[in-house]
Each structure stands twice: as C-alpha cells, then as structure tokens.
Copies of this chain bind each other. A is one copy, B any other.
Amino acid sequence: MRVLGIIVEYNPFHNGHLYHLTLAKELVKPDYVVAVMSGNFCQRGEPAIIDKFARTEIALLNGVDLVLELPFVYAVQDAGGFARGAVWSLHNTNVVTDIVFGSESADLSFLQKIAEVMVKQPDPFPTLMREELKKGHSFPNARKYALMRYFDLTKEMDPKQVLRIEKSNDILGVEYIRSLMILGSQIKPHVIKRVGAEDRDERFQGKFSSATAIRKCISNGDWEKVAKALPVNSLRVVSRELNEGRGPVLLQHMETLILSKLRLMDRAQLQRLHGFDEGLDKRFIDCASKATSLEDFFACVKSRRFTLSKIRRLCLYALFDVTSDFVEKSNTFGPQYLRVLGFSAKGRELLSKMKRVSRVPIISLCSLYRKVLDQSMKKPERFQIHPELFEQQLLYDIRATSIYSLLFPKQSERIGDKDFKVPPIMIT
C-alpha cells in the first residue's frame, strides 16, 4: 500500500495546488492521499481567509482522501517548526509511505546534502555556526554563511549553491528532509518543480497566481480574477463561505485585538513567549504604543533582521500566549495527536487502518478528546504521549478556532468552541 502525504495550507486551494496534487499522484501512484493542513492560522502569521472546515471540504473535493489538522503550535512557527510538526504528523500516521513537496530547485540530492549537514553537524560546521552567530547575524543568515564556509572547506558542493535555498519552498524542503532524518522516518521524500507565481508574489498572474495574490482579489471582491485562479469547486466553496458571512477573514480584523493585547503586556510577559529575543520584547511594546494601526506597527517593528512573517507570527504568540516552554516541549515531543478534519469514502478506509497503527491517538470528534486521551494512556506500549502537552496542544487549537470565529463578518456566525460542535467533514 502506498500512501502519499502532503503538507498544505490551501489558503485558498488554487490551480497551482491542483497541479501539484495531480503531479504528485502521477509520481507516487498512491492508494490514498493524506494532507496535513494548517488550521485557522497560517505560517505567515495570518488567519486563513476561510476556515479550516471549508478548506478541508475543498481539499476532499479535489482528491485528498484524509485531512489532518497541523496543530496551531506548529502551524504558526517558522519553517523549521512548521516542517517538524507537519512531517512528524505524517510520520505519526504510520501509514504514509511517500511525501511530495514543491520546490524551486527541485533538486532532492542538493536539499538532502544541506539537511544532512544541519542534522549531523559534521566538523567544523558547529564552529563555523558559532562564529557567524557571534558576528551578529540572525539565525537563518548565520546558518547560510556557515554552510557556505563549510562547503568551501569540504568541497562537497559549490558554496554558492547554498544561496539556492533562499526561496521559501526550498527552505521548507530542507526542513522537511531534516525532520525525516531526525525522526529516522522510512517515509520517502520526492520533490516536484513548482509552477506559476512565487508564494510571496502579490501580483495576479492569471491561472497560476499565488495564494497571496488570490487572497487580495478575494478581499477586493475581484471575482473575475478569482474565478481564473481557482478550480471550480474551490471557487464555489469560497463564494459560499463569503456569502454566508464566514469570510474573508483578514489579519486586518485582528488589529484592535493585537494592539490592545500588546498594550496590556509588559516586557517580562513577552519574554516568556516564543521568539521574543534580540530585544524584540521592548521593540514590540514601544511600537504598540506609538502605532495607531497594524500597518504602522509592522512598519515600526520591521528591520532587515526580522521578516514581516516573523513579526506577524509573534503577534499571534502575544495574542494567544504561546510560551517558549510550550513551543520547546512541542518541538521536542512532537504532535500528541492526529486531529481528523475530514475524509472521503476512501479516507474512511484509510482512517480505520490508521487507527490500528498510528503512533499517536487519533481525534475524530474533538468533544470526545478526554476519552481518547484516557484510553491512550492505558496503552503505554503503543503511545508515548504526554497528557499535559496533549491537552495543551489541543487547547490552543480550540482557542484559535474560538478567536477565529469572532473575526467572521456575520455576527451570528461568531460562536465559540466550534471544534466541539463541527464533526469531521465527509465527502462521498
């Protein structure tokens, strides 16, 4: 049995995603496709434009058999944490045999070589890394320069090649492979060349536009363009969600929430949170006082050292109180459950196979999580889970959903704890 695993945000599902999925299926010829998908908040530190239930529906309509939620604590981390949580989730299914991901370079051996140096830390890489960090470079830059110097010394690769991983999908690709290596996973990675616009490209480029460009068209109500860039069923669900007042959900809607939370916090509180190092705590507090909008705030905080995505993610950490301790534990012990967001008829078959072999418990109905946890604790030979971390990870998913609902344009849709109320999405 071959099971293809993919790691997605589908924010929203567009023609590029469908193309990627089709190619990946041709490559792996899987019996089943499993996607691990960000929930209501994405890696760019923004709320998804429509909610995870609708995005699950679209994924299923387009040939994914089973959609699992990437827990919030991983979904809103940098490439390293995101990749770790996602790959670990697929590994935890214990049924996924192949992962396919898009890449600008599409050069697997190159990505593997880099990942290997990161994982194995061969001499003198650790020394080079320390030296570059001492020079005051940010962590990703220090790593880049250390890698270049390492390959210059070892002649394993042309040092300039390292610069190829600057592109966001290659950064993720390296992290996926690295996570597979760390886990000692048997899952086989494959890369396929990305087509169309780059993720960050905000310009509409017709059929293969970036998700960023498409979200912009959706929030501007430019449906003619949106229709060009989305598969028909995706367009239908996105329109329905907006018609029913459940979108578009935009970061803009969180302006007062984020600024007020920051204005109510002190440095000591921010310092307990993930990522507020390098003086970012003071910077955030000063800028939250000066800024009268999120845009002002980002402009105030931003510097060459900190990307906008990082700043947005830190805003979410502040709003949701994502502590360093919680992130470190999550990165050390991995996702504690597999939350099922939805499945097709085939997905249901896969799910019953998975239930027998998965490395962590499976939560199909969130309201029954206690029962799932209690039963899993009785099987220590199968599950090495940490009950407190399990509950904490799930609590953040639930809270993320409760806050997300408050951002819906239509008031009557703003109910909390939707995770307890919405059963898995099923497509037949």
Contact = CB atoms under 8 A, between A and B. Distances in A.
Contact of A260 (B259, B264, B321, B403): B403
When A and B form their complex, which 5 residue pairs have the shortest distance between CB atoms, in order from nearest? Answer: A289-B416, A292-B414, A263-B402, A289-B417, A263-B416
A2 B413 CA distance: 59
A63 to B, nearest CB: 35
Contact of A414 (B264, B293, B407, B415): B293
A399 B264 contact: yes
Contacts of A290: 415-416
Nearest to A256: B406
Contacts of A399: 263-264
A27 interface: no
B402 A320 contact: no
A411 interface: yes
Contacts of A345: none
A257 interface: yes
Given A263-B406, A288-B416, A292-B413, 14 more contacts: A256-B256, A256-B406, A257-B257, A260-B403, A260-B406, A263-B399, A263-B403, A263-B416, A264-B321, A264-B402, A289-B416, A290-B415, A292-B414, A293-B411
A195 to B, nearest CB: 39
A412 interface: yes
Contacts of A411: 292-293
Contacts of A319: 264
Contacts of A406: 256, 259-260, 263
A92 to B, nearest CB: 27
Interface string A252-280: 00001101100110000000000000000
Interface residues of A, number: 27
Interface in A138-170: none
15 contacts: A256-B256, A256-B257, A256-B406, A259-B406, A259-B414, A260-B406, A263-B402, A263-B406, A264-B321, A264-B399, A289-B415, A289-B416, A290-B416, A292-B412, A292-B413
Contacts of A414: 259, 292-293
Interface hub of A289, A290, A407, A413 (most chain B Cβ within 10 A): A289
Nearest to A266: B395
A399 B293 CA distance: 17
A257 B291 CA distance: 18
Contacts of A292: 411-415
A233 to B, nearest CB: 29
A187 to B, nearest CB: 36
Interface string A306-341: 000000000000011100000000000000000000
A20 B411 CA distance: 42
